[in-house]
Amino acid sequence: MDALDLDIRTVRRLAVRRQRLSGPRPSPGPEGLREVLRDLRCLQIDPVGVVARSHLLVLWSRLGRFDPDDLEALLWRERWLFEYWAHAASVVLTEDLPLHRRLMRRHPGADSRMSAWALANGELREHVLVRLAESGPLPTDGFEDRAAVPWESTGWTAGRNVERMLELLWFQGLIMVAGRRGRTRLWDLAERRLPPWADRADLPDAEVEERSAEHALRALGAGRARDVRRHFVRERYGDAAATLERLAERGRAVRARVAGSAEPWFVHADVLPLVERAAGAGWQGRTTLLSPFDNLLCDRERTSLLWGFDYVNEMYTPRAKRRFGYYVLPVLHGDRLVGRVAARADRRRGVLDLEGVYAEGRAGDEAAGPGLAAAVGELAVFAGVGAVACTGPVPGVWREALAGL
């Protein structure tokens, strides 16, 4: 097949569609969750719950109001999902276990500082595994610190020997998160937690890279080698460019040219039916709010290229130096990122506090106002507060729409 010719708008629309942020919404029940998760392949976990936990917000943006207990069932009862490292600590699909096993069997590298520390602390390692075998699942404080050599760091992990050993064994696939008590992780042996149907195969590296790249390329809609490297299992693709070329030779991907870009692009064969619709005048999207860690935006360089939208997480920026706010949700309207909403759920008052609403240059047109207001109202209900209060600046173009909340 000849190379496709695409413009940036079509690439944006393919990304939005493949991220399940346009088109018919899946049902908000368990099957809808499975449908979305099979397309995304991972949900980043972040402990901050200023509005709601990030992985819940990512699903809400796609499904609308859903029951988080359905996600809990997929994680802890059905074990259709588990927690592991994708591009960050994430919820991932158990059917992708063979893809994640590559990192499990390689971590840590033989020459790494972690490897040397682990070798010096065999007693601590054995203690953790024996305790779990006898009494798991256990929280972090269920283990004694038997480290012979303390973990040294200039950051927050300094001296946290038990946590570092648990993290190492988690990366190696020997233990898993078996549940949570509030936000505290409970650990257990992986062999006890994995369902009987889980595929424990160790696949050849080339097959792992090809299957991972296919997942990433489907989720991206269209992408370059650098986009694939940074998506799903970030920086675990080896030579992503060569992998994409192999997929193209086999008909699993199609080469593309994107106006304004000198790099080769690719579209997965499964995405080809969407290309014509994405380029057409009848394409319709939605208006919604996105988590700061949403899969659509996890590659900041790609986000800037496709949307001209530069996003900086200001949670760790001193208050006086923040441009927009502590917890800022990008506003997606159709195929454009048109603004930002700094929000905070005040559960004591039962209010979603909009600490600032900002239009993104000229993109913040009036047509986005009703959809933005509806999305904010829906988010308030999902966050368990119901009411909305605008306590910060609101651009004039959206003031009337938001005033009705």
pLDDT higher than 80, residue 129: yes
pLDDT higher than 80, residue 154: no
The per-residue pLDDT for range 345-402, each reduced to its tens digit, is: 999 999 999 999 999 976 557 889 999 999 999 999 999 998 999 999 999 999 999 9
Residue type, 72: E
**pLDDT for the residue 317:** 92
The per-residue pLDDT for range 231-245, each reduced to its tens digit, is: 999 989 989 999 999
pLDDT higher than 90, residue 103: yes
Overall size of the chain counted in residues = 405
**pLDDT for the residue 123:** 97
Percent of the chain, pLDDT > 90?
89
**pLDDT for the residue 175:** 98
**pLDDT for the residue 364:** 56
The per-residue pLDDT for range 186-234, each reduced to its tens digit, is: 999 999 999 999 999 999 999 999 999 999 999 999 999 999 999 999 9
**pLDDT for the residue 362:** 62
**pLDDT for the residue 174:** 98
Find the mean pLDDT for residues 132-141: 96
Across 335-349, b (16+ Cβ under 10 Å) vs e yields bbbbbbbbbbbeeee
What CA–CA distance (Å, rounded) separates 216 from 253?
A: 12
Please state whether the predicted TM-score (pTM) of the whole model is above 0.85: yes
The per-residue pLDDT for range 26-44, each reduced to its tens digit, is: 999 999 999 999 999 999 9
**pLDDT for the residue 365:** 78
**pLDDT for the residue 182:** 86
Please give the C-alpha separations between residue 397 and each of 174, 204, 222, 362, 403, in angstroms, as whole numbers: 54, 55, 33, 10, 11
Find the mean pLDDT for residues 4-8: 96
**pLDDT for the residue 386:** 85
Backbone angles phi, psi at 78, to 5 degrees: -80, -25
pLDDT higher than 80, residue 251: yes
Assess whether the previous peptide bond of 137 is cis (omega < 30° from 0): yes
**Mean pLDDT of all residues belonging to the chain:** 94
**Strand, helix or coil at 394?**
coil
What CA–CA distance (Å, rounded) separates 19 from 214?
A: 14
Please give the C-alpha separations between residue 342 and each of 7, 28, 44, 53, 293, in angstroms, as whole numbers: 32, 26, 20, 15, 14
The per-residue pLDDT for range 64-76, each reduced to its tens digit, is: 999 999 999 999 9
Structural domains of the chain, ranges and CATH numbers in brackets: 4-97+201-279 (no CATH), 111-193 (1.10.10.10), 312-403 (3.40.630)
pLDDT category of residue 281 using cuts at 50, 70 and 90: confident
